Amino acid sequence: MSAAPADSSATVGAIAARLERLPSSRWQAKVLILLGTVVFFEGFDQMLVSYTLPLIKEEWSLSSFEQTAAVTAGSVGMLIGALLCGMLADRFGRVRMVVIAILITAISSLLLMVSTDFVQFVVLRFVQGLGIGGEVPVAAAFVSEIAKAKGRGRFVLLYELAFPAGLTAAAVIATAIVPQFGWRALYLIGAIPAILAFLVHRKVPESPRWLAARGDFARAEQAMRAMEEGVRKATARPLPPPVPHDDVPAESRGRIRDLIGRKYLRRTTIVAVLWFCGYFVNYGLTAWLPTIYTSVYQIPLQTALNYTLYTSLFGFGGCVLVMLLVDRIGRKPALIIGLGVGGLLLIVLAMLGAASGLAVALWCSVSALFIFAANICLYVYTAELYPTRVRALGVSMGGAWNRVGVILGPIVVGGLIAAGASIAVVFAVLGGVGVAAGLVAFLGEETAGRRLEEISR
C-alpha cells in the first residue's frame, strides 16, 4: 500500500470531493453507453435458455429434471461468479474484472452455439454464468463510485437499464429468430460482447475512489485527472471547485467478515432477503412462462413467445419508471411498492384461478412492472450501503443471493408443477414471497442524496 500522498488533492476525502463536483457531461455518457452495452448483452445471454428450452427439450428429449438443470446451471455459475469476482474486484480492481468477465461470457456463448449434447450445454451454461454473475455487480459498484450523491440513483439506473433491456431484447429477438433459424442462432448473437472487452480496457479508467481507498494515491490521482480532463473537454468550461469533505483514512483490504460484522450485519441481512425474494419471484415466473403456456394451456409456441414478450416489455417499463423516480421518492418506497404490489397482483391472479393463458399473461405482465422495478433498484441501493473496501463484494453478495433466488425459484415452480399442483398454487406461492419481501423492505434505511462516504460510516 502506498504512503500518504504529498499532494493533498489525492487523499480519500479529496478524491471524493473532486468526484462530487463533476458536472454531467458526454464523458460520463460515453462510459455509461460502453458499460451499458456490455451489460445489455449479459442480460441477453442470461435469458436465452428460457426461450430456447422448448426446442432444446424436443431436440434432446429432455426429462423434467434435465430441463430444470438447463435452467439452473447458468444460475449456479452466476452465484459462484458473483462471489469470486466481487472479492477479486475489491483486491485487483473493478475494470480488470469486468473485462475478464466479458470474455468468459462471450466465448461461452460462442461454444454454446456449437454444443452437440445436453451435458456440453449444461457445462457451458455454468461457465457462462461465471462471467455474467461476475460482471454485472462489479460494474454496478464501479458506476456507483464514479457518481455523485445528487442524482446518483438515476445515474446508476440509467446504466442498469441496459440489463433488463437485454432481457427484453432476448424475448424480442427469440420471437423473431427461433421459429425461423432455430435456437443456435441466438447464442451466436450472444458472443458479440467479445469485441467490447478491448474497448472497456482502453476507454474506461479505474475507479479513483477504489484506488484512493486502498492507498494507491498515485494511480488515484492519474485516474481522477483523466476523468476531470474528459469532463472538461466535454463541457468546454472550467470545472467548479470541489467542496471540502472530511477526510477518511485509506482502508485495509475488505473481507467477507466485514459484511457480517456488527456494523453492517443488519444491512447485509435485509438486502440478502430482498435480493433472494425479488429474484425468486422474477425467475420462478419468467423462466417457466413459455413452457407453462405451451404445456398447461396448450398455446402454440409463437403465441407463448409473444405472451412472454409482453411480460418482458412491462417489466422493462417498470425499470424505466423507477429510474425516473428513484431519486425523488427514495430507495425504500421503490422497494416496498415494487415487491409488495408485484406480489399482491400474483396472489390476486391465483385467487381468480389463473383460468386462461391470456389472463396469466395480463396479470403476470402488470406484476412484472413492479417486481422488475424493485429488482433493478437493488443494484443502486446495495452499492450505497457499504464502504469502498467491500463495495464490490457487498453488491456481489447481493448478486449471490439473487442467484440463490434465481436457482430456487424455477426449481420450486418446477417441483410444484411436477407434483401436480395447480397453476393457481404456483402463483400464490410466488405472490406470497413478493409480499413478504415488501414488508422486509420497511426495515431498511434510506440512502438517497447522501455521499457514499457518509452512508458507510
Percentage of residues in the chain having pLDDT higher than 70: 95
pLDDT at 240 over 70: yes
pLDDT at 7 over 70: no
Q: Quote the Cα angle for 251-257-261, to 5°.
A: 90
pLDDT at 151 over 80: yes
Q: What pLDDT, on a 0 to 100 scale, did the predictor assign at position 71? A: 78
Instruction: Please identify which residue in the block is written with the cell numbers 479529496.
Output: 14
Spatial separation of the C-alpha atoms in residues 66 and 60, rounded to whole Å: 10
Q: What is the mean pLDDT of residues 105-132?
A: 93
Spatial separation of the C-alpha atoms in residues 93 and 104, rounded to whole Å: 17
Spatial separation of the C-alpha atoms in residues 11 and 360, rounded to whole Å: 55
pLDDT at 398 over 80: yes
Q: What pLDDT, on a 0 to 100 scale, did the predictor assign at position 106? A: 93
Q: What pLDDT, on a 0 to 100 scale, did the predictor assign at position 251? A: 60
Spatial separation of the C-alpha atoms in residues 287 and 271, rounded to whole Å: 23
Of the ranges 259-263, 354-358, 370-374, which one carries the lowest mean pLDDT score?
Answer: 259-263
Q: How confident is residue 4, by pLDDT bands cut at 50, 70 and 90?
A: very low
Per CATH, the number for 8-237+252-455 is 1.20.1250.20
Q: What is the mean pLDDT of residues 4-20?
A: 71
Q: What pLDDT, on a 0 to 100 scale, did the predictor assign at position 367? A: 96
Burial label, 368 (beta-carbon count in 10 A; 0-12, 13-18, 19+): buried
Spatial CB neighbours of 153, under 8 Å, sequence gap ≥ 6:
323, 326, 327, 331, 377, 380, 448
Q: For the chain, how far is it from start to end, CA to CA, in angstroms?
A: 22
C-alpha cell at 116: 452437440
What does pTM read for this prediction? 0.81
pLDDT at 278 over 50: yes
Q: Where are the domains of the chain?
A: 8-237+252-455
Q: How confident is residue 427, by pLDDT bands cut at 50, 70 and 90?
A: very high
Q: What is the mean pLDDT of residues 219-231?
A: 92
Q: What pLDDT, on a 0 to 100 scale, did the predictor assign at position 46? A: 81
On average, the pLDDT of the chain sits at 87
pLDDT digit string (tens) for 167-202?
778 878 888 888 888 889 889 988 888 888 889 988
pLDDT at 6 over 50: no
Instruction: Quickly list DSSP for 407-439.
Output: HHHHHHHHHHHHTT--HHHHHHHHHHHHHHHHH
Q: What is the mean pLDDT of residues 434-452?
A: 92
pLDDT at 249 over 70: no
Instruction: Please identify which residue in the block is written with the cell numbers 418482458.
Output: 312
pLDDT digit string (tens) for 314-364?
998 999 999 999 999 999 999 999 999 999 999 999 999 888 889 999 999
Spatial separation of the C-alpha atoms in residues 82 and 378, rounded to whole Å: 15
Helix (H) or strand (E) holding 185: helix 184-189
Spatial separation of the C-alpha atoms in residues 345 and 431, rounded to whole Å: 7
Q: What pLDDT, on a 0 to 100 scale, did the predictor assign at position 373? A: 95
